[in-house]
Every structure is written in structure tokens, then in C-alpha cells.
Amino acid sequence: MASPAAAVIRIEHLYKEYATDAGPVPVLKDVSVNVMPGEFVAVMGPSGSGKSTFMNILGCLDIATGGRYVLGGRDVGTLNKDELARLRNQVIGFVFQGFNLLPRASLEDNVALPLIYRGTPRSERLARAREMLAKVGLDAYHRSRPNQISGGQQQRVAIARALVTQPTLILADEPTGNLDTATSSEIMALFTELNQRDGITIILVTHEPDIAAYAQRLVRLADGRIIYDGLVEHAAPEHTEATS
Amino acid sequence: MTAAMLAEAWLAMGANRLRTFLTMLGMVIGVGAVILMLAIGQGTQRQVEESIASMGSNLFIILSGSTTSGGLRMGSGATPTLTLADAQAVEELPAVNAVAPSAPGTAQLVYGSNNWSTQVYGTTPAYLTVRAWTLASGFPFTDSDIRSATRVALLGKTVVDNLFGDEDPVGKTIRIRSSPYVVLGTLAPKGQSLDGRDQDDTVIVPVTTAQRKLFGTQFAGTVRFIMVQAESAEAMPAVEKSINELLRQRHRIREGADNDFSVRNLTALANAAAETAKVMSLMLGAIASISLLVGGIGIMNIMLVSVTERTREIGIRMAIGARGNDILLQFLLEAIIISIVGCLIGVGLGVGGALAVNAFSGMAIVITASSIFLAFAVAAAVGIFFGWYPARKAAAMKPIDALRYQ
């Protein structure tokens, strides 16, 4: 493995606890992990294992209560809200289980949305959006609304939106959770292509072993700790079993 | 960036057209009401001011006094105690601009086959100065007409219309109580007085003519009242005092005895009327502004609902890189657009309403650029003020909470 300094993600002794009426509840306990450029990582774990919290912190949507998280050379813990927004905009592309497209906007406007927050001029925004739509094979639908296309197509649009800012990292949270098997494999093929051809780092949360199998590396969480971190094919069967 | 935000705001508003329209309606009605009420209020105010200006400025009227005979007290003007000589003496007082003694009466006028009954004022040329009255045609009579009590007359517009129609009256001879009078000129129209009388329904003749030839007087040289114009508003109290002193002296009234005349300040009354009109105008505006406030609260209400409804959208936007200020700007722009567009329609409706009121009821209206500007400024302020809190609320959301919102 290359030196940690070149890592896209460097996480050292990360803790996260939530304040509740019954006192603080620890969710992540001493999590340390590095992700190198070009890796394709699957994150698995039963519900309550802390994988959602882990993804939210990775995506700079939530802040850890202890430890260090360095993303693209910047220590996330020292950034303010606006700097976090900037980082999300420039470094990360999100793909969600529920697609999360704006229902009233056309597909091209949806894909172009992240560029608004960069101040990109409209003509360039739309040109880039069309380019990304073409990349996911939906160029013909650029004026359609999200509710006029299928779930698999919506997820492709979401991927196009994640790609439009040319991120170094794509975070996908159960991207195939709402899709049937055939569509799921299409989406996973697209992720694999982005990873292998364009060298984009991908971190993907899933509870399905056959989805996790598309990745090279598996990180398995249980009760807020990493219990396995290694190649997918070397994982013991209990580490890749379906969780829901 | 702002252009993109505007487009986003527009899109959001278009998504729920009925709601946007209803929210806007509050603003439309508010602004419309303010414009309409200001137009009517200022119209009334201007009408009162014009009436006051037509009366003449810095005026006193001296009325001959009341008398008591056998326990029966007669009203003001019942006894002829004022004379032309009194008027001439008042004219000599300092700070007095013009003095017009008047001997009014009613008489029947005849010209050709037309006749008309009207108020005839016997007065001096100074009357025109005092009343700020100009001639529409011809010339006024002069002091020599007063001295020789010639039969000449100046006609008000209403009289001209009734006796002459379209004919030019200057130089023609009319009959007043059967005697012939030469029309020297016609008076410029003045319209209604404050108490609603037609000021143009009048004829002016030399005071001496009225006294000696037209009405006759119980005592030679007496007049019913004297109008006095002071040089300035500031000089009025001093002038009033000196008139009192002069006339008491001239009428030989003993220390402690009542005046046999009374001096009234017409300007004070007029100012009170103007003040009333102004207060009414302000009241109308204030009441209308309340509806503007209610409109603003409507905007806030809907924006709050909208922010809650679109929590997930806010979460998505934040996840892909929107900063708090971007979200704030988006919702604030929506509120401001609703306000401004509502204001535009409201201005149209208000102006249209005012014109309709004017057309159907004849009520005077004044629409000023300043009242439209005011409505605009208030609308923008209302949009920012009432849009701020919901927008702030949206911007302060945590991206993770907003994304999870169902």
C-alpha cells in the first residue's frame, strides 16, 4: 500500500457519539482507515453498526466528535460550514438510495445543479450536464422530468449529477437498494467503468454480497468498529453475508 | 449566480401556482388599498387646499354687531354699524394689504329673454385682490366708478352661462332690478367654496352703486361687512388687535362695553379644514397599510410552509454544495419576487381603482409618483422582513437532518 500522505481519505481514531436524553450514545468507536486514489471500497454491516453515520461523516454531512478525518489533504475537523459545503461541492459526488433528484427540474437542470453553487455560467453548466447525461446514456431525455423515467434511469441521472463536478471521490449509499437485480447490475457496471477507466475513487455502502463483490476492498463494521478490512475475495463468508 | 438563483426561485413559485397567486393576492390587495386610499386622501386634501386658496389668504371679516332691543338680541350684522369711512380708516392701519367693504344683496338680473336671480356684491376693486380673483375678460371698475356710483358690473361664470350662454357679455347691458348696467368684465371661475356654495354665482358692482341705487340703506354709507387682508400670516394677530382698537375708538365705545362689530379670522378656519383633510389622508393611508402588513404575514406563513415542505430539497442542495447563504438567498428571493410582483399588480389595481372612483363618483383623486414609490419600497421591505425568518430557518438546517427528513 502507498504512503498514507497520498490517501484520498485518511481517518485516524474516529469517534462519533450522539447526545440523547439518556446520555451520549457512542456510534463509532476508534475507526481508522485510509482510502487510496482509485480504490473501490464496499462498506457493509448490519443496521446499527454505524455505517450510515460513517458515510455521513465521510461525506462531510456530519462531524465526528473525536479523532481526525483528512479528505483530499484537508483536515475536515477544522473547517466551518461554508468550507464543508465547498468541499462537498468540489471533491465529493453523492449517489443516494432514493436518487434524490429535484422532481420539478428537468434532468439537465438536475445534473447541472452542483455547478450553480460553483458560479459556473449557465451555458457551460448545461453543456457539462449534457455531456454527463450522454456518459450515462440518457442524453435523449435531457428535457424530461425525473418522474417520467424509470428508477434505474433516475439513478443514472444521479450518477451524472455526482460526476458533473469531476469529483475525486464518489460516495454511494445503497445505490441499488431501490432497484431490481438487472438494473442493479447495470448501475454497478457503470460504477466499475468509472472506477477502472476514469480512476475515480468509489466508496459504496451496501448490504448485498453480490453488490459488494463489484468492489476490490471490503470494510465491514459491527457495533461501531471495523471488524474486517481487506480484499473482498479474502473475506470470510460471515463478513460478506447479507445484512439488512 | 444571482441569475441562476432567480431562475430557481421562479421554478419553485411556478410549481405551486395557486398558492403563489393567493400569497401574492395579499400583497396585491395591500398595495392596491394603499395606493387607492392615498389617491383619495390626497385628492380630498388638494380639493380643500384649492378651496382655501380660492377664498383668499390672511383674511379677516369684520361684521357689524348685534343689538339688543327690548330684551330681544339680534344676530351679527343686524345693525348697520360699519361704514365706508370705517373701511377707509382700516386701510390706513399698518400691515393691512387690502380692504373691501361689502354691501351684498339679492337681485333679479335680466338680459334679453333670459333672467336669473343671484347674489350682488357692492364692493370696491380691492375685493378682487382680497379674494385673489382675476378676470376672465374685460376690465375691473375703478375708484372713479366708486366715487360716481356708476352702473357697471362684473359677472361670475355661472351668471354669464345663465344670461348669455355662448355670447360674449363684455360691453353688453344687463338689467339689475330693472336698471341698466354695463358689463365691464367677467370673473375667472372659482368653483365651490368650502361650505359648498357656488362662488361663481355672483355679480360685483361698485359699493356706492349698491348702497345708493340698488338696495338702498337705512343709514347712508353703511356696509354689511368689511373684508381685510393682512400682509402676512404673522401680522394677523397685530392687525386684529389694531382693527379692534380703531373701530372701538371710531364707534365711541366706552371702556368695558361690548363691541358693536366682530372681527373673525377666516384663515384659522381654513387652516383647521386643511389640517382635518391632512389627518384624514394619513388615517386612510394608515388603515390601508394594515392590509399590507397582513399581506406580509401571509407571505411569511406560506414561506414557512414552503421551507418545511422542501426540507428534503434543501438537504439535497446542501449535500451537493449549497452554502447556508445560497439557501437563504433562494428563499429570500422567492419572498421578494412575490412581494414585488404583487406590488406591481397592486399598483395597477390601485391606480385603476382610483380612476374608476373618480369616473363614477367624481371624487377628487391625486396619484403621485411618491405614493407609488412608497408602496414599492414598503412591499420590498415587507418581502425582506417577512421572508427573512423562513429563509434563515432553511439556511440553518443541518444537511444530514434535512436529507433524512421524510
pLDDT at A1: 47
At B257 the pLDDT is: 79
With beta carbons under 8 A apart, name residues in chain A contacting B11.
104-105
Interface-testing mutation among B316, B326, B328, B392, with chain A (most A C-beta atoms within 10 A): B316
The range of the structural domain enclosing residue A160 comes to 4-233
Identify all chain A residues contacting B319, using CB atoms and an 8 Å cutoff. 59, 61, 88, 94, 100
For residue A218, the domain's CATH number is 3.40.50.300
Task: Give the pLDDT confidence score for residue B218 in this predicted structure.
Answer: 62
Under an 8 A CB cutoff, do A116 and B313 touch? no
* Separation of alpha carbons A75 and B349, rounded Å: 58
Of the candidates A96, A200, A89, the one whose C-alpha atom is nearest the C-alpha of residue A157 is: A96
Phi and psi for B43 in degrees, rounded to 5? -65, -50
Q: Across the interface, do A119 and B403 touch by the CB < 8 Å criterion? A: no
Distance CA A175, CA A164 (A): 18
Measured between CA atoms, the residue of chain A closest to residue B322 is A117
Average pLDDT rounded to a whole number, residues B394-405: 89
Q: Are A111 and B318 in contact (CB under 8 A)?
A: no
Instruction: Yes or no: say if B205 and B176 are a contact pair by the CB < 8 Å rule.
Output: yes
pLDDT tens sequence across A18-62? 888 888 889 999 999 999 999 999 999 988 888 889 999 999 998
Q: What is the pLDDT of residue A226?
A: 93
Which residue of chain A is at minimal alpha-carbon distance from B398?
Answer: A61
Q: Is B266:B294 a contact under the CB 8 Å cutoff? A: no
Residue A18 covered by a domain: yes
Using a CB cutoff of 8 Å and minimum separation of 24, what contacts does B137-141 make? B137/B168, B137/B170, B137/B185, B137/B186, B138/B170, B138/B171, B138/B183, B138/B184, B138/B185, B138/B186, B139/B184, B139/B185, B140/B184, B140/B185, B141/B184, B141/B205, B141/B206
CB atoms within 10 A of CB A109: 21
From B61, B105, B65, B106, select the one nearest B87 (Cα to Cα).
Answer: B61
Is position A39 within any domain?
A: yes
Residues of chain A with C-beta less than 8 angstroms from the C-beta of B320 = 88-89, 94, 113-114, 117, 161, 165
* A115 occurs within a structural domain: yes
pLDDT digits (tens, 9 = 90+) for B177-186: 889 999 999 9
Contact A85 B318 (CB under 8 A): yes
A240 within domain boundaries: no
Q: Which band of pLDDT confidence, cut at 50, 70 and 90, is reported for residue B81?
A: confident
- pLDDT for A219 equals 94
Question: Could you report the per-residue pLDDT of B348-380, keeping only the tens digit for each?
Answer: 999 999 999 999 988 888 888 888 888 888 888
Q: Is residue A243 part of a domain?
A: no
User: Residue ranges of chain A with pLDDT lower than 70?
Assistant: 1-5, 242-244
Q: What is the pLDDT of residues B249-282, one digit of tens each?
A: 888 888 877 788 888 888 777 778 888 888 888 8
Residue in B with minimal Cα distance to A87: B321
Please write the tens of the pLDDT for every residue from B14-26: 778 888 898 899 8
Best of B13, B311, B320, B325 to mutate (most A CBs within 10 Å, chain A): B320
Q: How confident is the model at residue B317 (pLDDT cuts 50, 70, 90)?
A: very high
Name which of A61, A102, A116 is nearest B399 (Cβ-Cβ). A61
**pLDDT surpasses 80 at B65:** no
Domain count, chain A: 1
Mutation choice for B interface testing from A102, A111, A165 by most B CBs within 10 A: A102
Inform me whether the pLDDT recorded for B77 exceeds 60: no
Residue of A nearest to B325 (CA): A82
The pLDDT-based confidence of B132 (bands split at 50, 70, 90) is confident
Q: Report the pLDDT value the prediction gives residue A160, as an integer from 0 to 100.
A: 94
Residue B50 is predicted with a pLDDT of 79
- Looking at the DSSP assignment, which residues form a beta bridge with residue A75? A70
Per CB-CB distance under 8 Å, the chain A contacts of B326 are 85, 116-117
Whole-angstrom distance between the N-terminal and C-terminal Cα of chain A? 32
Assess if residue A196 is contained within a domain: yes
Kindly calculate the radius of gyration of chain A based on its CA atoms and give it in whole angstroms. Answer: 18
**The three cell numbers locating residue B61:** 371679516
Nearest chain A residue to B400, by CA: A61
Residue with grid cell 392596491, as numbered in its chain: B32
pLDDT for B375: 82
How many C-beta atoms lie closer than 10 Å to residue B134's C-beta?
11
Residue A241 domain-assigned (yes or no): no
Three-state DSSP at A43 gives: strand
CB contact under 8 A, B324 and A81: yes
Judged by CB atoms closer than 8 Å, whether chains meet at A85 and B3 is answered as no
In a domain, A242, yes or no: no
> With pLDDT > 70 as the criterion, what percentage of chain B qualifies?
95
